[in-house]
Amino acid sequence: MRTDNSSEKRRKNRRLAWILAGLVLFMLVSSIPFWKGLFELAVSGAS
Amino acid sequence: MSTATIDLEHHEDHEHHGPPKGFKRWLFSTNHKDIGTMYLIFALTMLFAGGVSAMAIRAELFLPGLQLLEPDLYNNLVTNHALIMIFGAVMPAAAGLANWMIPLMIGAPDMALPRLNNLSFWILPAAATMLILSFVVPFFPGGGTQINTGWTIYPPLSIQVGMSMDFLLFALHMLGISSVLASINIIVTIFNMRAPDVKLTQMPIFVWTWLVTAFLLILVIPVLAGGVTMLIFDRHFGTSFFSAGGGGDPVLFQHLFWFFGHPEVYILILPSMGVLASVVPTFSRKPLFGYASMVGAMIAIMIIGMVVWAHHQYTIGMSLGAVSYFMIGTIIISIPVGLMVFNYMATMWRGAMTFETPMLFAIGILLMFSFGGLTGIMLAVVPADMQYHDSMFVVAHFHYVLMPGAVFGLFAGVFYWLPKWTGHMYDEKLAKIFFWVNVISFNVTFFPQHFIGLAGMPRRIVDYHAMFTEFNVISSLGAIVFGLSHLLLLYIIIKTIRGGKQAEDKVWEGAKGLEWELSSPPPFHSWTTPPKLAVS
C-alpha cells in the first residue's frame, strides 16, 4: 500500500482545511465587540 | 504504546528523484523537511535580531541615567525585542520542529497541504521585513514617531503613534495569517495523514502538543486580528472602537489582546513540553510516565488557558467577582501544568539516566520553568499583583517561564534531532559548554530582576533610581554573556552541518519512535509507504 496522496485523500484534506478555515472565520466575526462597535459607529454616524 | 518494527524496503524506489537544484529548491519547496529547515534558519536569524535589541536594552540599564539610548528608542527596542522573539524566533522555531518531525513521527510522506506549507513559510520573511521596517521607518524624514507602546500596543497610545505603527499592525496581520495557515496544515496532517497503524492514542506526545497548539492558534489568532483591524480603523477611518474621546473604550482592546496574549504563552510553551516528552524517556531509558494524563493535561491547559486572560489586567478596575474568577482560574492552571512536570520527574525516577546535552536542557527546564511557575502563582493573586504589576518582577517572571519553557525546550529539540537532520553528531563537549554558559548567564541576568522588581523598579522605563544600580549591573553583565553565548550555538550548528562523526539511524540508545527508523539524514521523500508497527 502506498501513501502517495490519492485524489480521495487530497479531497479529504481540503475538506477538513476548509472546515478549519470556517472555524477561523467564525472566531474572527464572533469577536462580538467588533460588530457591537461597528453598529455603534453606524448609529452615531447616522445621527 | 507500540514500538516500531518497520519494513524499510520502500525507500529505495523513491530515491530516484532527489531535491531540485539551486534556489528553486527553497523558493518553491513543498517538502516538509526543507520547509522545516527554512523555518529553523529564519528563527535563528530572528533570535539574533531580537537578541541584539535585548543586549542594547540591558546595556542602557547597566547604570542609572541615560547612557546610550534616547527614551523613545529604548521603548522602540522593548517593543521590537518582544515581537521579534515571540513571532519571529520562538513560533517559527516550533513550527520548524513541527514541519520536520510530525510527518516523520506519524509515518506520513509529507504535510497534508504542501503548497499551503510553502505559503505559510514565505509569508514570514515578508512579515519580518514589515516588522523591522516599523523599527527603522522613524529614523527617516517623515517617518513619524517611534513605537513606544510595548508589544501589547495598547490604545490610545497606539492610535497616536506615527506610520511605523501601521507597519507593525500589518506585520502582525501577516504573521497571524502565516500561523493560522500553518496550524490548519498541521491539524489536517495529524488527522488525515497518519500511517494506518498510528492511532491518535499512540502518537508521540510532541505531536499531541502540536495538535493542541494548532487548535489554540486558530481559536485565538482571529481575535487578535479583529482587535488589530479595529485599531487600523481607529487610526485611519475615523472610528472610535478604542478611543474614549469618540465614545469608545481602550480597555476593550486589552480584553481582545489578552484573549490572544495569554493562550499565546501556552502556544509558545506546549511544543517545547512536547520535545521533553521525547527527550526525557530517551535519556532515562524508561517509557514516558502517564501518557493519558499528559494528553488530558494539555487539553485542560488549552481550555482553561482560554478563559483566564484578564489576570493581565487586574489593575484596570474590574468587579470583585470578575477578579476572583480570573484569579482562581489562573491558579487552577497550575494543576495540569504541574502534572506535566511531575510526569517528567516520574519518568526520570529510577531510570538509567545519562546527561547528554538535550537531557541537561530538559532538567534545566523543569527546574527553572517550575520556578517561573511559582512566581506566576504570586502574580495570579490579585492583592499581590497590584504591587508587582508593571515592575521588573514581571519581567523576571515571564523570562523564567518563556526562556526555559519555550526556548530551552527548542534548544533541547535541536540538539536531540540535529544528528537525525544532518547525519552528523554534534560536538557534545562544546554543546555542554554552551548549556552551562547559557543557563548560568540566564540566571545571572534574570534572577536579580526579582529583587529590584519587588523593591519597586518599574519596567519599560529607560532610567531608574540609583538604589537599584547593583542588581542592574549584575543583570546587564549576565545579559552580555547570555547573548554572546548564542554565537557558540551558531558555531555548533554550522560545524555539525558541515561534518562530524556519522550519526547512526537510531542516534540515541534509548530513543523510541518512527523517526529513528529512518536513515540519518532521512531520505528526501520519506514514508512513501506507510510504516507498520509491531505492538510490544
Kindly report the backbone phi and psi dihedral angles of residue B359, in degrees, each rounded to the nearest multiple of 5, phi listed first. -70, -35
> Which residues of chain A does B185 touch, with a Cβ-Cβ cutoff of 8 Å?
17
Q: What's the mean per-residue pLDDT of chain B?
A: 93
Please give the C-alpha separations between residue B125 and each of B81, B325, B400, in angstroms, as whole numbers. Answer: 17, 40, 28
Is the pLDDT at B94 greater than 80? The verdict is: yes
The CA distance from A40 to the nearest CA of chain B, in Å, is 9
Cis amide leading into B521 (omega within 30)? yes
Q: Taking the model in full, what pTM does it have?
A: 0.93
- B residues 129-148 lying closer than 8 A (beta carbon) to A: none
* pLDDT for position B248: 83
CA distance B140 to B509: 57
Alpha-carbon B228 to chain mean position: 21
Q: Which chain A residue shows the shortest CA-CA distance from B217?
A: A24
Task: Decide if A24 and B529 are in contact by the 8 Å CB cutoff.
Answer: no
pLDDT at A35: 59
Residues of B in contact with A5 (CB under 8 A): 109
Would you call A4 and B227 a contact, using CB atoms and an 8 Å cutoff? no
Alpha carbon B391 to chain centroid, angstroms:
23
ipTM over 0.90: no
pLDDT in tens, B308-341: 999 999 998 888 988 999 999 999 999 999 999 9
| pLDDT confidence of residue B334 | 94
Interface of A with B in 7-36 (CB under 8 A): 9, 12-14, 16-17, 20-21, 23-25, 27-28, 31, 33-34
What SS3 class is residue B529?
coil
**If contacts are CB pairs under 8 Å, which of residues 226-265 in chain B contact chain A?**
226-227, 229-230, 239-241, 247-248, 252, 255-256
Flag if B112 and A1 touch (Cβ within 8 Å): no
pLDDT of the residue at B381: 95
Per residue in A15-43, pLDDT (tens digit) is 999 999 999 999 888 876 665 666 565 55
Q: Do A9 and B192 touch (CB under 8 A)?
A: yes
What's the average model confidence in pLDDT over B517-533? 90
pLDDT band at A44 (very low <50, low <70, confident <90, very high): low
Residue B18 has pLDDT above 80, yes or no: no
Q: Which residue has the cell 481559536?
A: B219
The count of other CB atoms within 10 Å of the CB of residue A45 is 9
In the A/B pair of chains, how many CB contacts fall below 8 A? 84
The pLDDT value recorded for residue B112 is 95
Phi first, then psi, for residue B534 (nearest 5°) are -105, 120
- Per-residue pLDDT at A1: 42
Residue B337, C-beta contacts closer than 8 angstroms, at least 6 positions apart: B297, B301, B373
B256–A28 C-beta distance less than 8 A: no
Contacts of A25 in chain B (CB under 8 A): 222
Nearest CA in chain B to A4: B528
Nearest CA to CA, how far is B528 from chain A (Å)? 6
Question: Which residues 6+ apart lie within 8 Å of B517 measured at CB?
Answer: B4, B6, B8, B505, B506, B531
The pLDDT of residue B19: 81
- Side chain identity, residue B399: H
